[in-house]
Amino acid sequence: MKPDLRGLATGVGSLPFKDPVQALDLIFKYLPEIPFWPQLPRRSFLEGMLIQYSQNIPCLSIADDDLIFHSRNIDAELERFYEKIISQDLEHFAIGAGYASGLYEFRRMLRENPQLLNPVRYIKCHITGPFTFSASVKDDKDVPLLHEPVLRQAIIKGLAMKALWQVRFFKEFNKKIIMFIDEPYLASFGSAYTPVTREEVVKALAELTLDLKSEDVLTGVHCCGNTDWSIFTDIASLDIINFDAFNFMEKFVLYAAGLKKFLNRNGIICWGVVPTQEFSAKFTAAGLIDKLNSGIDALKNKGVVVEELLSGMLVSPSCGLGSLDVSKPEPIFRMLSEISSLLAKKP
């Protein structure tokens, strides 16, 4: 059964602050129903979207503030890695406090300020997607690990374990978890520069999300560019599609047939309607809701049931805010909160 979300708001992942308390104060103020733990890449290179999830992924190490591949003892490392997978040793795949200060501060604040937990309906977590991860790390021949099936599969399994570890990390709060898989790389899917097939993408993301469904997690994919959205609508274990509705609304609604099937099986669309890079004082909540309505009307005209869209609607910024000036997140979150309140009243 699809939960009635009716325009609840959440964030994408990164924020430009160095202080996790400063980041979380904004999150709990403006996104109290679906707060998320913030990535803070300006605090440390360890909080970058690759290194943050790299601990105990085989054949990877850090040098000169970067993630590098090493080919020594591949077979032995893979053997030890899969022993940990088989034994479900989630602690082996923990994200260290130095790699995710926002994650640990999030839990501390909930423990010490129980009133913050009262409005929370979901806790949102995230991992970097396996295609973005494996495309961004090269082997010792300067070839992306995306081209190495054995290592790519290890990355899929390792990231799944890190996602499951997060579920356990927040289990004490008895709140349902939303887990986003951040896949900006898939914005290039279908081009001559993307050496993976549609079948490979669907299979990998289905495997990763299926592992999470066993824990009653709502699974989502975030892609901040345009892509073949039918990839995601065809994954039965995927619950949420988060797209940049500000820049790619017209492209997204072209996939109405697949979206209709996705919604029919209780799928949820998270509309990234508040711009990030383009944000300025000229934008208004009413104007951005008009933009949302244009997308809803386009899908309605293609046979999508409006009530299914509205009841299964989340809203977010169009992308992460980590690269913005520190003055930008608060007005973006304030506008997002205002949009969410207006949508909640929409008949």
Longest dimension (CA), the chain: 61
Query: Residue 142, exposed/middle/buried by CB under 10 A (0-12, 13-18, 19+)?
Result: exposed
Q: Regarding predicted confidence, which is higher, 195 or 217?
A: 217
Query: What would the pLDDT profile of 139-156 be if each residue is shown by its tens digit?
Result: 888 889 999 999 999 999
Percent of the chain with pLDDT over 70: 98
Structure-block tokens of residue 153: 């599969």
269/310 Cα distance (integer angstroms): 9
C-alpha dihedral sign at 213, 218, 222, 226 = positive
Per-residue pLDDT, averaged over 108-133, amounts to 97
pLDDT tens for 73-97 read 899 999 999 999 999 999 999 999 9
Residues listed for the chain? 347
DSSP 50-98: TGGG-TT-TTEEEETTEEEE--TTHHHHHHHHHHHHHTT-GGGGPPPGG
Instruction: Supply the pLDDT for residue 346.
Output: 64
With b meaning 16 or more CB within 10 Å and e meaning fewer, what string describes 51-86?
A: bbbbbbbbbbeeeeeebebeeeebeebbeebeebee
Q: Which residues of 230-247 are buried (b: 16+ CB within 10 A; e: fewer)?
A: bbbbbbebbbbbbbbbbb
Rounded Cα distance between 110 and 230, Å, is: 37
Whether residue 192 has pLDDT greater than 70: no
pLDDT in tens, 218-270: 999 999 889 999 999 999 999 999 999 999 999 999 999 999 999 999 999 99
**Partners of 127 in the beta sheet?**
181
pLDDT-derived band at 1, boundaries 50, 70, 90? low
Residue 198 predicted with pLDDT over 80 = yes
> Is pLDDT above 90 for 178?
yes
Whether the Cβ atoms of residue 33 and residue 119 lie closer than 8 Å to each other:
yes
Q: pLDDT tens digits for 266-307?
A: 999 999 999 999 999 999 999 999 999 999 999 999 999 998
| pTM: predicted TM-score of the whole model, two decimal places | 0.95
pLDDT of residue 259: 96
pLDDT of residue 193: 65
Q: Where are the domains of the chain?
A: 8-344
Domain 8-344 has CATH 3.20.20.10: no
